[in-house]
Amino acid sequence: MDGGKAHRGVWLPNTLHARAIINFIHWSQGGLVLDAALKGIVEAFGAECGVISRLWLNKGAHRVAARADTRDPTVSRPLFLSFANDALGPFRNMPKRASVFSLREDGEDPSDLSPVLVDWLSHRKIKDILFVCLDHQGGEIDFLELHFGQTPEPGFKEAIEQIAPQLSETYQSRRPGLVTEALSRQTVSTIRKSTTDTPILSTGNPAGLTRAEWRVCALVSRGISPQGIGTELGIGPATVRTHLKHIYSKTGLDNFHMLARRLVSVEEREALHGKQHQARA
């Protein structure tokens, strides 16, 4: 971590941390958009990227309220979604407010991680992900998620735990409607991106699909059903559903019917055909 460090169990914050907290308080009063406040937190703690998301336990679904990424999206695949549901396993069900979880220390066994998360960790070379429970009301849990490209220093999780109560308290005392507004803004942004003239399967990969998600979309474009996708790729129904869920989130489409209708269009088939030729060249 740059600046603030943990020395003998005592965390010494720096001006970046103070500014990040002030910006978060500013957001809670309606004076700043959540994306900007999150960006300050990501930069202050030396994370590569991060999201604030809401997880619905009864649906097994999530939506992103804010995201921030320090990498150039034209060079590296940007972070579009939360991995709390994939990474935390039983820890996601009953987290206490302001609790902090580490993927390396508290997450699922590496052999049990979803293919989507494994692909993400490999692509961005993520060493650890810290999850902070900002709020927990019934079946709704809001997480702050910080992705680190370098292995955090010893004591770093404890340092985050010191600031987590203030972040959680600020989040809970926010002005009504701010998170709903942020969730809506991210959804509209995703839908606008998905309704552009650029095909999902164009060489630029505008939706930020992983390799596995790209293969799923390629099979959908051939008219193959979810069951057939599982057979073709040698994966189970649950993994197929996970891939499709993330594809819907990235493309702004609501269901398999909408995705299939989009992917069988002439533009999409031409884009995929060109991609296949390029891959063979």
pLDDT of residue 80: 79
- Each residue's pLDDT tens digit, 213-256: 989 998 998 889 999 999 999 999 999 998 998 888 778 777 88
The amino acid at 120: W
Alpha carbon 67 to chain centroid distance? 8
Query: How far apart are the C-alpha atoms of 85 and 122, rounded to whole Å?
Result: 18
Q: What is the rounded average pLDDT of the residues 3-30?
A: 74
* pTM, two decimal places: 0.67
pLDDT of residue 169: 96
* HSE value, Cβ hemisphere, 13 Å, CA-based, for 233: 25
Distances (CA, A) of 160 to 9, 11, 13, 37, 254: 12, 9, 10, 16, 36
pLDDT of residue 7: 40
61 near 184, Cβ under 8 Å? Answer: no
Query: How far apart are the C-alpha atoms of 208 and 250, rounded to whole Å?
Result: 7
pLDDT of residue 244: 92
pLDDT of residue 9: 43
**Residue from 99, 260, 208 nearest 164 by CA:** 99
- Show the domains of the chain with their CATH numbers: 5-177 (3.30.450.40), 197-280 (1.10.10.10)
pLDDT of residue 279: 39
Is 188's pLDDT higher than 90?
A: no
